[in-house]
Structure 1
Amino acid sequence: MDDFYEVLTYVNDNFYKPNNLMIKDIQEEIQNEKYGSGIFRINSKTVRFRVARKTPKKIGQFVVCWEKGSDNKNQAYSYENATDLLVINTFGNNHKFGQFIFPKDVLLRHNILKTDTSNGKMAIRVYPSWDTLTSKQAIATQRWQLPYFINLNHTSSLQELGKYFEEDADIL
Protein backbone atom coordinates (compact mmCIF):
# COMPACT_ATOMS: atom_id res chain seq x y z
CA MET A 1 0.00 0.00 0.00
CA ASP A 2 1.68 3.24 -1.09
CA ASP A 3 -1.04 5.53 -2.46
CA PHE A 4 -1.24 8.68 -0.32
CA TYR A 5 -5.01 8.78 0.07
CA GLU A 6 -5.30 5.02 0.59
CA VAL A 7 -2.69 4.98 3.37
CA LEU A 8 -3.96 8.22 4.93
CA THR A 9 -7.51 6.85 5.01
CA TYR A 10 -6.25 3.62 6.61
CA VAL A 11 -4.23 5.52 9.24
CA ASN A 12 -7.00 8.03 9.88
CA ASP A 13 -9.77 5.43 10.25
CA ASN A 14 -7.75 3.02 12.39
CA PHE A 15 -5.49 5.25 14.47
CA TYR A 16 -6.02 9.01 14.22
CA LYS A 17 -9.83 9.27 14.55
CA PRO A 18 -10.03 6.72 17.40
CA ASN A 19 -7.47 8.85 19.27
CA ASN A 20 -9.35 12.09 18.53
CA LEU A 21 -6.66 13.32 16.14
CA MET A 22 -8.39 15.28 13.39
CA ILE A 23 -6.63 15.85 10.08
CA LYS A 24 -7.02 19.21 8.32
CA ASP A 25 -5.63 20.98 5.25
CA ILE A 26 -4.67 17.80 3.35
CA GLN A 27 -2.46 18.22 0.27
CA GLU A 28 -0.92 15.41 -1.76
CA GLU A 29 2.68 15.98 -2.88
CA ILE A 30 2.83 14.78 -6.47
CA GLN A 31 6.62 15.05 -6.82
CA ASN A 32 7.07 12.10 -4.41
CA GLU A 33 3.85 10.21 -5.11
CA LYS A 34 5.64 6.82 -5.23
CA TYR A 35 6.10 7.27 -1.47
CA GLY A 36 2.51 8.15 -0.56
CA SER A 37 3.52 11.77 -0.02
CA GLY A 38 1.45 14.54 1.43
CA ILE A 39 1.18 17.32 3.97
CA PHE A 40 -1.55 18.03 6.50
CA ARG A 41 -2.18 19.45 9.94
CA ILE A 42 -3.18 17.74 13.19
CA ASN A 43 -3.98 20.24 15.94
CA SER A 44 -1.29 22.90 15.61
CA LYS A 45 1.30 20.50 14.17
CA THR A 46 2.18 20.45 10.48
CA VAL A 47 2.90 16.95 9.21
CA ARG A 48 4.76 15.67 6.17
CA PHE A 49 3.52 12.11 5.50
CA ARG A 50 5.44 9.35 3.70
CA VAL A 51 5.19 5.63 3.03
CA ALA A 52 8.52 3.80 3.20
CA ARG A 53 9.24 1.14 0.59
CA LYS A 54 10.92 -2.22 0.97
CA THR A 55 13.93 -2.77 -1.24
CA PRO A 56 14.91 -6.21 -2.54
CA LYS A 57 18.50 -6.41 -1.30
CA LYS A 58 18.67 -4.44 1.96
CA ILE A 59 16.98 -4.74 5.31
CA GLY A 60 14.99 -1.70 6.33
CA GLN A 61 12.79 0.51 4.22
CA PHE A 62 13.66 3.43 1.96
CA VAL A 63 11.91 6.79 1.78
CA VAL A 64 12.64 10.03 -0.04
CA CYS A 65 12.51 13.44 1.58
CA TRP A 66 13.24 16.10 -1.02
CA GLU A 67 11.65 19.04 -2.75
CA LYS A 68 12.40 21.09 -5.83
CA GLY A 69 14.62 24.09 -5.17
CA SER A 70 14.28 27.49 -6.82
CA ASP A 71 16.60 26.17 -9.55
CA ASN A 72 14.15 23.26 -10.12
CA LYS A 73 16.71 20.74 -8.83
CA ASN A 74 15.99 18.21 -6.10
CA GLN A 75 17.21 19.19 -2.64
CA ALA A 76 16.77 18.03 0.93
CA TYR A 77 14.06 19.78 2.92
CA SER A 78 15.34 22.90 4.61
CA TYR A 79 15.02 23.30 8.35
CA GLU A 80 13.35 26.69 7.95
CA ASN A 81 10.58 25.32 5.72
CA ALA A 82 10.23 21.86 7.27
CA THR A 83 6.98 20.70 8.80
CA ASP A 84 6.87 20.14 12.56
CA LEU A 85 6.81 16.36 12.07
CA LEU A 86 7.88 13.84 9.45
CA VAL A 87 5.65 10.76 9.70
CA ILE A 88 6.96 7.69 7.89
CA ASN A 89 4.59 4.73 7.60
CA THR A 90 6.13 1.27 7.49
CA PHE A 91 4.51 -2.01 6.53
CA GLY A 92 6.05 -5.39 7.32
CA ASN A 93 5.20 -9.02 6.73
CA ASN A 94 2.20 -10.55 8.51
CA HIS A 95 0.25 -7.26 8.56
CA LYS A 96 2.83 -5.40 10.63
CA PHE A 97 2.35 -1.65 10.61
CA GLY A 98 4.06 1.21 12.38
CA GLN A 99 4.97 4.86 12.13
CA PHE A 100 8.15 6.78 12.69
CA ILE A 101 7.21 10.24 13.94
CA PHE A 102 10.28 12.46 13.73
CA PRO A 103 10.16 16.02 15.09
CA LYS A 104 12.06 18.44 12.88
CA ASP A 105 14.69 19.11 15.56
CA VAL A 106 15.56 15.39 15.58
CA LEU A 107 15.92 15.46 11.79
CA LEU A 108 18.18 18.49 12.17
CA ARG A 109 20.36 16.72 14.75
CA HIS A 110 20.85 13.80 12.35
CA ASN A 111 21.71 16.05 9.39
CA ILE A 112 18.61 15.07 7.41
CA LEU A 113 17.38 18.65 7.01
CA LYS A 114 19.32 21.18 4.96
CA THR A 115 20.85 24.17 6.76
CA ASP A 116 23.51 26.76 5.97
CA THR A 117 26.15 24.27 7.13
CA SER A 118 24.65 20.94 5.95
CA ASN A 119 23.27 19.74 2.61
CA GLY A 120 20.85 17.40 4.39
CA LYS A 121 19.70 14.09 2.92
CA MET A 122 17.22 13.54 0.11
CA ALA A 123 16.45 9.98 1.23
CA ILE A 124 16.81 7.86 4.33
CA ARG A 125 16.44 4.24 5.33
CA VAL A 126 14.29 3.46 8.37
CA TYR A 127 14.47 0.34 10.52
CA PRO A 128 11.25 -0.65 12.32
CA SER A 129 11.48 -2.61 15.56
CA TRP A 130 10.74 -5.88 13.75
CA ASP A 131 13.91 -5.63 11.61
CA THR A 132 16.85 -7.74 12.79
CA LEU A 133 20.04 -6.02 11.72
CA THR A 134 23.66 -7.11 11.37
CA SER A 135 25.37 -4.01 9.94
CA LYS A 136 26.91 -1.71 12.56
CA GLN A 137 25.69 1.37 10.68
CA ALA A 138 22.13 0.02 10.42
CA ILE A 139 22.14 -0.90 14.12
CA ALA A 140 23.31 2.61 15.05
CA THR A 141 20.64 4.17 12.82
CA GLN A 142 17.91 1.96 14.26
CA ARG A 143 19.07 2.88 17.78
CA TRP A 144 18.42 6.61 17.26
CA GLN A 145 15.22 5.98 15.26
CA LEU A 146 13.39 3.57 17.60
CA PRO A 147 12.42 6.16 20.25
CA TYR A 148 10.34 7.77 17.49
CA PHE A 149 8.77 4.51 16.27
CA ILE A 150 5.30 3.38 17.24
CA ASN A 151 4.36 -0.22 16.47
CA LEU A 152 0.66 0.25 15.79
CA ASN A 153 -0.04 -3.48 15.97
CA HIS A 154 0.21 -3.20 19.75
CA THR A 155 -2.81 -1.57 21.36
CA SER A 156 -0.61 -0.34 24.23
CA SER A 157 1.31 1.76 21.69
CA LEU A 158 -1.78 3.61 20.49
CA GLN A 159 -1.73 5.91 23.52
CA GLU A 160 1.76 7.07 22.52
CA LEU A 161 0.44 8.34 19.21
CA GLY A 162 -1.33 11.39 20.60
CA LYS A 163 1.68 12.77 22.47
CA TYR A 164 3.36 13.80 19.22
CA PHE A 165 0.42 15.94 18.12
CA GLU A 166 -0.22 17.81 21.37
CA GLU A 167 0.06 21.60 21.30
CA ASP A 168 3.10 21.70 23.60
CA ALA A 169 4.65 18.36 22.66
CA ASP A 170 8.38 18.29 23.30
CA ILE A 171 9.41 14.87 21.97
CA LEU A 172 13.15 15.23 21.53
Structure 2
Amino acid sequence: MLDRYPQNSKYEALEFSIDGKKILYRKGNVTPDRPGNFLSIWKRPDENSTDPRRTMPYEEHDLDYLFVEVSDCDISKRGIYIFPLTALIDKGVVTSNKAKGKMAFRVFPPWTSSRGELKSKVFSDSAKKTQRWQSHFFLWIEDNEIVDLEKFNNIFSSLS
Protein backbone atom coordinates (compact mmCIF):
# COMPACT_ATOMS: atom_id res chain seq x y z
CA MET A 1 0.00 0.00 0.00
CA LEU A 2 1.26 3.47 -0.91
CA ASP A 3 0.48 6.36 1.40
CA ARG A 4 0.82 9.75 -0.27
CA TYR A 5 1.59 12.90 1.70
CA PRO A 6 -0.06 15.90 0.03
CA GLN A 7 1.73 18.35 2.33
CA ASN A 8 5.02 17.11 0.84
CA SER A 9 3.74 16.69 -2.73
CA LYS A 10 6.52 18.90 -4.10
CA TYR A 11 8.86 16.01 -3.24
CA GLU A 12 6.40 13.30 -4.37
CA ALA A 13 6.32 12.03 -0.78
CA LEU A 14 5.29 8.41 -0.31
CA GLU A 15 5.39 5.84 2.44
CA PHE A 16 5.27 2.09 1.77
CA SER A 17 6.80 -1.15 2.95
CA ILE A 18 8.95 -3.88 1.42
CA ASP A 19 9.41 -7.15 3.30
CA GLY A 20 8.04 -5.49 6.44
CA LYS A 21 10.50 -2.58 6.25
CA LYS A 22 9.04 0.95 6.42
CA ILE A 23 10.18 3.03 3.46
CA LEU A 24 9.92 6.78 3.01
CA TYR A 25 10.30 7.99 -0.57
CA ARG A 26 11.13 11.51 -1.73
CA LYS A 27 12.13 12.98 -5.05
CA GLY A 28 15.00 15.42 -4.74
CA ASN A 29 14.50 18.74 -6.49
CA VAL A 30 17.19 20.31 -8.63
CA THR A 31 17.91 23.81 -7.39
CA PRO A 32 19.51 25.83 -10.17
CA ASP A 33 21.43 28.17 -7.86
CA ARG A 34 23.08 25.43 -5.77
CA PRO A 35 24.73 22.10 -6.50
CA GLY A 36 22.85 18.88 -5.77
CA ASN A 37 19.20 18.05 -5.10
CA PHE A 38 17.14 19.32 -2.16
CA LEU A 39 14.43 17.40 -0.32
CA SER A 40 12.10 17.88 2.60
CA ILE A 41 11.58 15.07 5.13
CA TRP A 42 9.42 16.52 7.87
CA LYS A 43 6.21 15.16 9.30
CA ARG A 44 3.29 16.59 11.22
CA PRO A 45 3.02 15.63 14.90
CA ASP A 46 -0.67 14.89 14.32
CA GLU A 47 -2.12 13.40 11.10
CA ASN A 48 -5.00 15.89 11.14
CA SER A 49 -2.83 18.96 11.67
CA THR A 50 -2.75 21.43 8.79
CA ASP A 51 -0.90 24.16 10.67
CA PRO A 52 2.26 24.79 8.59
CA ARG A 53 4.14 25.76 11.75
CA ARG A 54 3.57 22.34 13.31
CA THR A 55 6.17 20.16 11.68
CA MET A 56 8.96 18.01 13.04
CA PRO A 57 11.77 15.72 11.82
CA TYR A 58 11.14 12.01 11.46
CA GLU A 59 12.12 9.84 14.41
CA GLU A 60 13.97 6.54 14.27
CA HIS A 61 10.79 4.50 14.84
CA ASP A 62 9.12 6.13 11.79
CA LEU A 63 11.18 4.40 9.10
CA ASP A 64 13.74 1.78 8.19
CA TYR A 65 14.91 3.31 4.89
CA LEU A 66 14.72 6.59 3.00
CA PHE A 67 14.64 6.30 -0.80
CA VAL A 68 15.56 9.52 -2.62
CA GLU A 69 15.22 9.67 -6.40
CA VAL A 70 17.42 12.27 -8.08
CA SER A 71 18.14 13.59 -11.56
CA ASP A 72 19.97 16.40 -13.26
CA CYS A 73 18.13 19.36 -14.83
CA ASP A 74 17.33 17.67 -18.15
CA ILE A 75 16.81 14.20 -16.59
CA SER A 76 19.64 12.74 -18.69
CA LYS A 77 21.21 11.39 -15.49
CA ARG A 78 19.12 9.62 -12.85
CA GLY A 79 19.69 7.67 -9.71
CA ILE A 80 18.28 6.68 -6.36
CA TYR A 81 19.70 6.76 -2.87
CA ILE A 82 18.77 3.92 -0.51
CA PHE A 83 19.64 5.34 2.91
CA PRO A 84 19.33 2.81 5.76
CA LEU A 85 18.16 4.06 9.15
CA THR A 86 21.61 3.47 10.63
CA ALA A 87 23.18 6.01 8.23
CA LEU A 88 20.36 8.51 8.82
CA ILE A 89 20.91 8.27 12.58
CA ASP A 90 24.69 8.48 12.23
CA LYS A 91 24.42 11.65 10.10
CA GLY A 92 21.75 13.28 12.30
CA VAL A 93 19.01 13.21 9.66
CA VAL A 94 16.40 11.54 11.90
CA THR A 95 15.71 12.31 15.54
CA SER A 96 17.49 9.96 17.92
CA ASN A 97 19.35 10.16 21.20
CA LYS A 98 22.32 11.37 19.09
CA ALA A 99 20.67 14.28 17.24
CA LYS A 100 17.51 16.36 16.92
CA GLY A 101 17.01 15.42 13.26
CA LYS A 102 16.53 17.52 10.13
CA MET A 103 13.48 18.85 8.34
CA ALA A 104 15.27 18.89 4.97
CA PHE A 105 18.67 18.22 3.49
CA ARG A 106 20.64 18.17 0.26
CA VAL A 107 22.03 15.19 -1.64
CA PHE A 108 24.95 15.39 -4.04
CA PRO A 109 24.76 12.77 -6.83
CA PRO A 110 27.98 11.69 -8.58
CA TRP A 111 27.40 14.13 -11.45
CA THR A 112 27.23 17.14 -9.13
CA SER A 113 29.54 19.72 -10.61
CA SER A 114 31.56 22.41 -8.92
CA ARG A 115 28.64 24.88 -8.96
CA GLY A 116 24.87 25.02 -9.40
CA GLU A 117 23.40 25.38 -12.89
CA LEU A 118 23.38 29.18 -12.51
CA LYS A 119 27.00 29.02 -11.34
CA SER A 120 26.16 31.11 -8.29
CA LYS A 121 27.16 28.80 -5.44
CA VAL A 122 30.41 26.91 -5.04
CA PHE A 123 30.43 23.16 -4.37
CA SER A 124 31.99 23.48 -0.90
CA ASP A 125 34.38 21.13 0.88
CA SER A 126 31.55 20.31 3.29
CA ALA A 127 29.30 19.35 0.35
CA LYS A 128 32.07 17.16 -1.10
CA LYS A 129 32.43 15.41 2.27
CA THR A 130 28.66 14.85 2.34
CA GLN A 131 28.78 13.52 -1.22
CA ARG A 132 31.41 10.96 -0.18
CA TRP A 133 29.31 9.36 2.57
CA GLN A 134 26.16 9.54 0.45
CA SER A 135 27.85 7.80 -2.50
CA HIS A 136 27.83 4.45 -0.65
CA PHE A 137 24.03 4.43 -0.88
CA PHE A 138 23.65 5.64 -4.49
CA LEU A 139 22.47 3.51 -7.42
CA TRP A 140 22.37 4.73 -11.00
CA ILE A 141 19.02 4.32 -12.80
CA GLU A 142 19.84 3.26 -16.34
CA ASP A 143 17.83 4.27 -19.43
CA ASN A 144 15.98 0.95 -19.26
CA GLU A 145 14.96 1.72 -15.62
CA ILE A 146 17.34 -0.95 -14.29
CA VAL A 147 19.43 -0.50 -11.12
CA ASP A 148 22.31 -2.58 -9.76
CA LEU A 149 20.28 -5.23 -7.92
CA GLU A 150 23.30 -6.67 -6.13
CA LYS A 151 24.12 -3.27 -4.61
CA PHE A 152 20.43 -2.68 -3.83
CA ASN A 153 20.21 -6.03 -2.02
CA ASN A 154 23.42 -5.34 -0.09
CA ILE A 155 22.11 -1.99 1.15
CA PHE A 156 18.58 -3.23 1.72
CA SER A 157 19.72 -6.23 3.75
CA SER A 158 21.83 -4.03 6.04
CA LEU A 159 19.02 -3.85 8.65
CA SER A 160 18.05 -7.51 8.52
TM-score (norm. length: structure 2):
0.80
Aligned match of 1:75 in 40, 56, 73? 56
Cα distance, 1:161 vs. partner?
2.6
Which residue does 1:161 correspond to in 2? 152
Superposition CA RMSD, Å: 2.1
CA–CA distance in 1 between the matches of 2:61 and 2:104?
18
Q: CA deviation at 1:116?
A: 4.2
Secondary structure, in 3 states, of the residue corresponding to 1:62?
strand
Measured at CA, do residues 148 and 38 of structure 1 come closer, stay the same or move farther in structure 2, by a change above 3 Å?
same
Name 2:37's counterpart in structure 1: 61
Question: Where do 5+ consecutive residues of structure 2 fail to align?
Answer: 115-122
| Distance in 2 separating the partners of 1:128 and 1:118 | 24
Alignment correspondent of 1:123: 104
Between the aligned residues of both structures, percent identity stands at 28
| Structure 1 residue aligned with 2:136 | 147
More helix by share: 1
Q: Deviations over 1:47-71 (max 9, x none)?
A: 1010000112100000001001258
The aligned counterpart of 1:106 is 87
Structure 1 residue ranges, 4+ long, deviating more than 3 angstroms after superposition:
162-165
Residues 148 and 117 (structure 1 numbering): CA distance in 2 closer, same or farther, change over 3 Å?
closer
CA 1:130/1:119 → structure 2, altered by over 3 Å: closer, same or farther? same
- What CA deviation, in whole Å up to 9, does each residue of 1:82-114 have, x standing for no partner? x11100000123521100110111100000111
Higher relative contact order at CA 8 Å, sep ≥6: structure 1 or structure 2?
Answer: 2
Note closer, same or farther for the CA distance 1:131–1:33 as it changes in structure 2 (3 Å cut). same
Q: In the aligned structure 2, how far is the partner of 1:105 from the partner of 1:97?
A: 24
User: Per the alignment, in what secondary structure is the counterpart of residue 170 of structure 1?
Assistant: helix
Match for residue 70 of structure 2?
90
Unmatched runs of 5 consecutive residues or more in structure 1: 1-24
Deviation at 1:130, TM superposition (A): 1.1
Number of residues of Structure 1 aligned to a counterpart in Structure 2: 143
